[in-house]
Amino acid sequence: MMNEQKIQDIVATVLAQLGETNVTPAAVTKVVDTAVSTGGSEVVSGESLPDLGEKCFKKWNGIENAADNKVVEDLMSQTDARVGTGRTGPRPRTTALLRFLADHSRSKDTVIKNVESSWLQERNLMEVQSCASDKDEYLTRPDLGRKLNEDAKKLIQENCKQTPQVQVVLSDGLSLDAVTVNHDEILPPLLNGLKNAGLDVGTPFFLRYGRVKAQDEIGMLLNAEVNLLLIGERPGLGQSESLSCYAIYKPTTETVESDRTVISNIHAGGTPPVEAAAVIVDLAKTMLAQKASGINLKR
């Protein structure tokens, strides 16, 4: 950050260029945030803007002079929906509006950004890619995300265990946050749980720009029985970390969506990742026992 002297020097230089030489330096006035109130308690004050992603803002009660404030607070404690934001005439409160804009921006960011290759290398995850060449093409051409490119097929066949009982794949899908936030709490417990259940587990890897149907081609390439795809869901407003698990038994070229079993809403505010890992292990065991998935698993 620039100090006051640097600011004054810049101002003096600009004014000199404009022909103004006898200008008395004005005092620099600092703009300080007023405290943000959440139900009467101070959240932040100082020289920087508050982080609108903090929990205190997500649970911010903007209703003033409520007939029974406890009813509002009880409702807010039971949902992450935007309730209790309050109004100023026909308009939303400033904090509510800023939080809406911040959440919208975060949701867009998690769709557009890419998982860094260095992050994957740190976790010993091999990276392969769909036929989509970049994120823009991935978003505009869903069909390309459903197929593996030629390099991906070669890498998978050369580096992954053939004919495993369970194959696990991680993919960014529509959310960077879903992968980076949940990985450490779901993938290691899931792999350990499958192995502790006595199952033969394939080589896990990361599929960049993947769509759900890509797991069919992966399953056929590796001749895996149960195929598990952990993929980032389309983000909601203020919820960008949700992960889904799509499970299918022995996919073929004739596989349809009803052949898949889905566990969705995996994140800290939904189904906790560690709990989801245990559910997925139990699901894989059931699929192997019944040799089915999707609606066929219910029959």
Pick the more confident residue, 247 or 83: 247
Domains 37-112 and 117-297 share a fold: no
Pick the more confident residue, 80 or 235: 235
Q: What pLDDT does 272 receive?
A: 95
Q: Is 150 annotated as a binding residue?
A: no
Residue range 236-262: mean pLDDT, rounded:
93
CA angle 136, 139, 144 (to 5 degrees): 95
Q: Is the pLDDT reported for residue 24 higher than 80?
A: no
37-112, CATH topology level? DNA Binding (I), subunit A (1.10.30)
CA angle 291, 254, 294 (to 5 degrees): 40
DSSP 8-state class, residue 25: P
Structure tokens at 224: 């895996």
Task: Give yes or no for a contact between 252 and 287, defined as CB atoms under 8 angstroms apart.
Answer: no
Residue range 211-239: mean pLDDT, rounded:
94
Residue written as tokens 């265990």? 161
Q: What pLDDT does 64 receive?
A: 87
The residue extents of the domains of the chain are 37-112, 117-297
Q: What pLDDT does 44 receive?
A: 47
Given pLDDT bands bounded at 50, 70 and 90, which one contains residue 2?
low
- CATH of region 117-297: 3.40.50.11240
pTM given for the model: 0.77
Q: Are strands 166-171 and 205-208 parallel, antiparallel or unpaired?
A: parallel
Question: Rounded distance, CA 123 to CA 291, Å?
Answer: 32
Q: Is 212 annotated as a binding residue?
A: yes
Residue range 211-223: mean pLDDT, rounded:
97
Residue range 159-166: mean pLDDT, rounded:
97
Pick the more confident residue, 31 or 16: 16
Q: What pLDDT does 40 receive?
A: 41
